[in-house]
Amino acid sequence: MREHPPHVSDDDVRSLLWAHWLPDVEQVTHLPVGFGAWHWQAWAGGRPVLFVTLDQLGERHTHKSLEGAYGAASALAARGLEFVLPQRRTVLGQCTVALGDDRLSATPWLEGTSGDGSFRDEAHARATLDLLERLHAETGTPALPRWRPLVHPSFASRLDERTAQPWRSGPYAEEARSALRQRLSEIRQWTADYHRLAAATDPASWVPTHGEPHTRNQVMTQAGTYLVDWESLKLAPRERDLATLVEHGWGDLVPAADPALLAMFDLEWRLDEIAQYAAWFEAEHSGSESDRVALAGLRHELLREPRNTARCA
C-alpha cells in the first residue's frame, strides 16, 4: 500500500521483529509499494536485512490458510526450488505472527529489481515459464490450500442491492458506485460464465500454483530470479499461472493450455478485482493515492476486453 497503515506504528512492527525474528533490528521504514498489503524494510548492522509484510485477514485468508500457504512455500524451497523465496520462520517456527487483527511476516531482504508486471522480452517470458513448469511438476507437496472460486454465484445480485442507494463513504464513492451499476448486466454474465467453467474443472489434474507470477512478484538479482509473495499459493489448474503469460502477450509460448481454463482465470481476475474495489469504495476512504489507483483499477476491469487465449502453443 502507498500509505502507512493508520492502525499500526513502526514501533509496533519493530517490537514484533525483535521478539520473533531478529533482536538486533535497529529500525524499520515503511515502503510505499504493492497493493493489498503493507510493507517495511528492516535494518540491522547498518544494512537492510528483512522485507516485512502485514497481511489483512478476511475473505481471502484466515490465519490458518495464510500460515498454510507460507508454510507450503517454505517446504517447496526446502525441496530444491531455489527460486522460491519463502517467509523466514520465527524463533518458534511460525511463518506469521499476530499484529492486532492482521498477520506480520518477513522474508530476507534481496538486492535486486522487480518489473511493472510485464515481461521485458521473450527470453524473460521463457525463463518465467521454465520456473513455473518446475513448480507445476512438484508432487507430494505438503497440504496446500486448494483453489476454489473467489466470487459467489450471487455476486452480481448482491452488488445490485449494495449499489441501489447512494454511497456517501468518501470522495470517490459515487463515481465507483455509478461505474459498477453501469456494468451490472456484464458482471452478471461474467459471473455466470465463471461458475460454469469452474464447475467443469478436474481436481485430479491440479498442481501447485503461485497465482500471480507477474514481474511485480519477481526479484531479479545477480544470483538469479526469485518468485515472491506466496500468500496466493494454491493447488489449482496450471492455467492459473499460465494466464499471466497470456495476459502480457506471450500466449504463443504456453504449451497445451486449455483455452477454457485460461478464460476462466481471466474472469476470476476481473471479478475478484471488481469485488475488492467495490468493497473498497463502499467503505470509508479519504481520496488518497491508493484510492486513486484503486479507482483506475476498477474502471480498467469494468471496461477492458477479454484477454486473447487463442494464441497458445
User: What domains appear along the chain, each with residue ranges and CATH number?
Assistant: 10-108 (3.30.200.20), 122-303 (3.90.1200)
Q: Map residue 107 onto helix, strand or coil.
A: strand
What's residue 312's pLDDT? 63
What's residue 140's pLDDT? 79
All residue ranges of the chain with pLDDT < 70 are: 308-313
What's residue 313's pLDDT? 56
Question: CA separation (Å) from 293 to 115, 154, 170, 215?
Answer: 18, 27, 15, 19
pTM comes to 0.92
What's residue 310's pLDDT? 57
Q: Is the CB of residue 167 less than 8 Å from the CB of residue 277?
A: no
Q: Show the DSSP H helices in the chain as ranges.
A: 10-20, 63-78, 122-136, 155-162, 173-182, 184-199, 239-247, 259-282, 289-303
Cell numbers for 261, please give them: 481454463
* Calpha distance 157→140 (Å, rounded): 40
